[in-house]
Homo-oligomer: A and B are copies of this chain.
Amino acid sequence: MKPFANLTLPEKEALRKSLQEEFDRVCEKNLKLNMARGKPGKEQLDLVSDILTVLSDPEDCVSDGLDVRNYGNLSGLPEAKNLFAEVLGCKPEQCFIGGSASLQLMYDLIAKAYTHGLQHSPRPWCREPVVKWLCPAPGYDRHFSISQSFGMELITVPMTVEGPDMDLVEDLVKDPTIKGMWCVPKYSNPQGIVYSKQIIDRIAALRPAAPDFTVVWDNAYCVHEVFGDYLPFPDILSLCAAEGNADMVYEFASTSKITFPGAGISVMAASEANQAYLQGIMKYQIISYDKVNQLRHVRFLKDKAHTLEVMAKHAEVLRPKFSCVLDTLEKEIKPLGLATWESPKGGYFVSVNTLPGLAKRTLELCAQAGVTMTAAGATYPYGKDPADSNIRIAPSYPGLDELRQAIEIFCLCLKLAALEQAR
């Protein structure tokens, strides 16, 4: 196949017609395929379902002498803190253990900044005339939505292949109304980019004007390799502390894609001073998150080494799915020059950048053909991708056969969109 750019107009029109016919045939099948969300598939859920029965008797429900079935222990079980601390490389006393969603811990951090202020806030953020927030993009739509929900002004920071554009970030944080920044440092959502050590060091060494500048370090994919061995990753808490920024960063992780997405546990790691401050507010909100489930996770995952063994099993399921998507793009799209993409080594997504102006139309066509995808623009602040180019593909949920169909339909739709644009 020739790159589309090299086709004559009549050649393009002839190709468009034949692809349109193919597309019409696909539509008649009334398919229902889904590549929208980073949901693990049933096979992945089944392989961790022994967690359901690791605690089966009252005697199993004791951790460090504590009956986990009863009230108490706001910040979570010491055993759960040990597990997360080992995985993240931080200290157990820096960990607060949450419920089934690290998103909730992130939301609540921002909510408390608004209602009460953070440790170094001159005032609660609801008393600030303007709050601005840095959004490396493409990024995670749910992060941007939290900021938007609180009326923040979202500032797009372009992603480079080794992380956010730090020249820009270093410049922007001189503005004291800029209060923080979203980061998914390992296998970023959606590109699967791993922040380089140099970028991480520059983040840790930021000199923001806002005394309560907040790096939300969403380490959602901390042990989520798909291809290759576990990639060790620096502990952002100690790096920030070494730069005199101990209280600037809050790290989040969860077991949502380790055990059950709908029933995992989560962690917020932060300096001891931040923990003391925040727990002083959180004690009014909750007595503790579900400690039985925390202990269930500790007994099932055991330690970092065993967690990595569990993740290796997930990777076995995910690898052919990622390969299917990447191979199909390589075969169908690359020769045509219609899009570029990273080849992620982990995480849950493949991020495709089409030629400008093709993303929305491609996904419209996908929807018509019965393939649900994350909305175009979702990976940018306010849902607006200025180039109308970025598309997030989530290969994890469908079975391999379905996925193959879905990605082929996606490629067909992208080609058709490109040829429509060329008319």
- Contact (Cβ within 8 A) B103 A293: no
Contacting A115 at CB < 8 Å: which of B46, B126, B261? B126
Residues of B within 8 A of A292 (CB): 52, 260, 262-263
- Contact (Cβ within 8 A) B281 A149: yes
- Contact (Cβ within 8 A) B52 A55: yes
User: Is there a chain B Cβ closer than 8 Å to A39's Cβ?
Assistant: yes
Contacting A145 at CB < 8 Å: which of B45, B53, B150, B284? B284
Contacting A70 at CB < 8 Å: which of B40, B145, B286? B40
Contacting A124 at CB < 8 Å: which of B39, B126, B288? B126
Contacting A287 at CB < 8 Å: which of B56, B103, B285? B103
User: Is there a chain B Cβ closer than 8 Å to A114's Cβ?
Assistant: yes
User: Is there a chain B Cβ closer than 8 Å to A61's Cβ?
Assistant: yes
User: Is there a chain B Cβ closer than 8 Å to A72's Cβ?
Assistant: yes
Total copies of the chain: 2
A38-54 near B? 1/0 per residue, CB < 8 Å: 01101001100100110
Interface residue count for A (Cβ, 8 Å)? 57
Q: How far is the CB of A234 from chain B (nearest CB, A)?
A: 28
- Contact (Cβ within 8 A) B71 A37: yes
- Contact (Cβ within 8 A) A263 B287: no
Q: How far is the CB of A128 from chain B (nearest CB, A)?
A: 11
Residues of B within 8 A of A71 (CB): 37, 39, 256, 261-262
| Interface residues in A238-293 (C-beta closer than 8 Å to B) | 256, 260-263, 281, 284-293
User: Is there a chain B Cβ closer than 8 Å to A183's Cβ?
Assistant: no
- Contact (Cβ within 8 A) B286 A107: yes
Residues of B within 8 A of A298 (CB): none
User: Is there a chain B Cβ closer than 8 Å to A68's Cβ?
Assistant: yes
- Which of A49, A55, A67, A114 is the most central at the interface, judged by chain B CB atoms within 10 Å of its CB? A49
Contacting A261 at CB < 8 Å: which of B53, B70, B260? B70
- Contact (Cβ within 8 A) A293 B115: no
State in angstroms the CA–CA spacing of A288 and B260 once bound together. Answer: 12
State in angstroms the CA–CA spacing of A20 and B55 once bound together. Answer: 49
| Interface residues in A70-117 (C-beta closer than 8 Å to B) | 70-73, 99-101, 103-104, 107-108, 111, 114-116
Residue of B nearest to A147 (CB): B284
- Contact (Cβ within 8 A) B107 A285: yes
- Contact (Cβ within 8 A) A263 B290: yes
Sample of 11 more A-B contacts, CB < 8 Å, known A52-B60, A114-B114 = A39-B70, A45-B61, A45-B70, A52-B57, A71-B262, A99-B99, A107-B284, A114-B115, A142-B284, A263-B293, A293-B293
A-B interface, 9 closest residue pairs, ranked by CB to CB distance from nearest: A263-B292, A126-B126, A107-B285, A69-B260, A262-B291, A71-B261, A100-B290, A149-B284, A104-B286
Q: Which residues of A contact B (CB under 8 A)?
A: 37, 39-40, 42, 45-46, 49, 52-53, 55-58, 60-61, 67-73, 99-101, 103-104, 107-108, 111, 114-116, 124, 126-127, 142, 145-146, 149-150, 256, 260-263, 281, 284-293
